[in-house]
Chains A and B, each alone.
Chain A
């Protein structure tokens, strides 16, 4: 069965979620992957969206974080101040599942502006949304995005959300409760932080992609893990579930 790099990425991201976890879900690729996990190996994954829907079980993919299907299928719907203050801030959510426009080797995320001047940006992006506090407070963070030189940069133009900040010890000094980013999952492979330097290194590639492919689309001097693994391709079951979900996106 053939599949696209995007499908491989979403399947790899879904596999990173364990059944029974609580997961704060960003819209787009993270939401696709989280719903795929729920449809396959993690039926008891608890999806939490920043619109205040806790334990949402959408039968089709929502277009926004506030689609009616999320509220109608949720175990509980709370206000926006409550979702951030009572549920996210104390660190009771296992994993924050985020996208990014730009990130650096310490997984600091930029979703605000491209270009050196905040006031006169080359590209104005939507901004922070819920990501700074999700990245700070969840027990761990997983980021899903497509690999490109534009996205994977030596240094982000603007730190919207903190990954490992300036390096080891940064999160502790800033008082950020969660352990920080554990994985970056892309359409080419998987990166994980080096335990000593916090720098993200390549730990997994997909069948048919090469280290050179990944390094060529990474804007820093990408290090390769000594334990680099080739990750298994999507199963027919995973692919069928993903295609079913995408075909049913709420319109």
Chain B
């Protein structure tokens, strides 16, 4: 059964230095509050896994949490580069960052293999690309029935999965809807899991298209209202596109980034998202 605890307790119980940590949410439901908590607990040497690293991993990489990134698309969606990621990869600031990259379909299948208890997943992909020779965990296999050459991708089995969801009930059953991404596969592939939620309710009303993860398949649930910001939780918040645009300037400069981190992450104490952070006039400026 999932334990319902504070976000600080959930991260302290699950994320240790050197762990492989996958924080998922495909544009929607990105667990930013949990990312900030990992930064505040000053975890180091993490292998961070995520299809689209975007701002959440830009912050964690810039804060020095990661020594390796496993990913398939590292950009600020609709805006441009991830400057903290590039600074770490290209200039080892604040620390050296190793990379392992895949395609989206490859990563999705690797999580699905992990969730299925299989050593690899089968797909059509990577053939003829330079990726196939530059990455690891990709191999050609021959179909035993047709003789066709297909691609095998190695399972992902993170130590910890972290996702954000709309709701949980008091038993720790979790429900989320809208763009559901790869979160179910991520949680089921991982040894431990933390799910932050917008709210904890008495009863989970059935909703069309919603995914429900039963309490017994989850390690920890923590309330983190607004915890997806600047991503969003459908039905609770909207994507803060201005923040994504403004992040470009903040993240471009080491000093501006460090000041931002001091004010909004280290300075935030137990409250992951102080009112001022959500104030449209003061979202980014340090």
Contacts and interface: CB of A to CB of B under 8 A. Distances in A.
A187 B179 CA distance: 33
From B74, B90, B105, residue with most partner A Cβ within 10 Å: B105
A29 B74 CA distance: 19
A176 to B, nearest CB: 7
Contacts of B181: 51-52, 79-80
A132 B28 contact: no
Interface string A240-251: 000000000011
Interface in A83-141: 84-85, 88-89, 112, 118, 121, 124-133, 136-137
Interface stretch (A61-69, A142-150, A202-210, A227-235): A61-69
Interface-centre pick from A66, A72, A250 (highest chain B CB count, 10 A) = A66
Given A51-B181, A81-B109, A128-B72, A174 B28 contact: no
Contact of A80 (B26, B130, B134): B26
A198 to B, nearest CB: 14
A136 B130 CA distance: 14
Given A53-B179, A77-B179, A130 B104 contact: yes
Considering residues B89, B129, B148, B238, which has the most beta carbons from chain A within 10 angstroms of its beta carbon? Answer: B129
Contacts of A50: 104
A132 B242 contact: no
A237 B96 CA distance: 53
B145 to A, nearest CB: 15
Contacts, number: 167
B84 to A, nearest CB: 12
B6 interface: no
B103 A67 contact: no
Interface residues of B, number: 54
Contact of A160 (B52, B89, B124, B131): B131
Interface string B104-136: 110011011000000000011111111100100
B75 interface: yes
Contacts of B134: 118, 158
B89 A85 contact: no
A175 B127 contact: yes
B179 A51 contact: yes
Residue of A53, A72, A118 ringed by the most chain B CB atoms within 10 A: A118
A2 B181 CA distance: 42
Interface of A: 27-28, 50-53, 62-68, 70-72, 77-81, 84-85, 88-89, 112, 118, 121, 124-133, 136-137, 158-162, 165, 170, 174-177, 250-251
Contacts of A161: 129
A160 B28 contact: no
Contacts of B27: 51, 64-67
Contacts of B242: 251
A71 B149 CA distance: 36
Nearest to B86: A124
Contacts of A136: 124-125, 127
Nearest to B127: A174
Nearest to A158: B130
Nearest to B110: A81
Interface string B180-218: 111011000000000000000000000001000000000
A159 B78 contact: no
B128 A64 contact: no
A84 B72 CA distance: 14
27 contacts: A27-B77, A52-B26, A52-B180, A52-B181, A62-B78, A63-B244, A64-B77, A67-B27, A77-B209, A79-B182, A79-B184, A80-B108, A89-B124, A124-B89, A125-B75, A128-B102, A128-B131, A130-B105, A132-B131, A133-B124, A159-B129, A160-B129, A162-B129, A175-B127, A175-B149, A176-B127, A177-B124
A86 to B, nearest CB: 11
B82 to A, nearest CB: 8
Contacts of B244: 63-64
B239 A64 contact: yes
B155 to A, nearest CB: 13
Nearest to B25: A66
A81 B180 contact: no
6 closest Cβ pairs, A-B complex: A66-B27, A126-B75, A129-B73, A64-B77, A63-B78, A84-B105
Given A63-B239, A80-B51, 17 more contacts: A51-B28, A53-B179, A63-B77, A68-B178, A71-B28, A71-B234, A80-B108, A84-B105, A84-B108, A112-B130, A124-B90, A126-B81, A126-B82, A128-B72, A133-B104, A133-B105, A137-B124
A66 B238 CA distance: 11
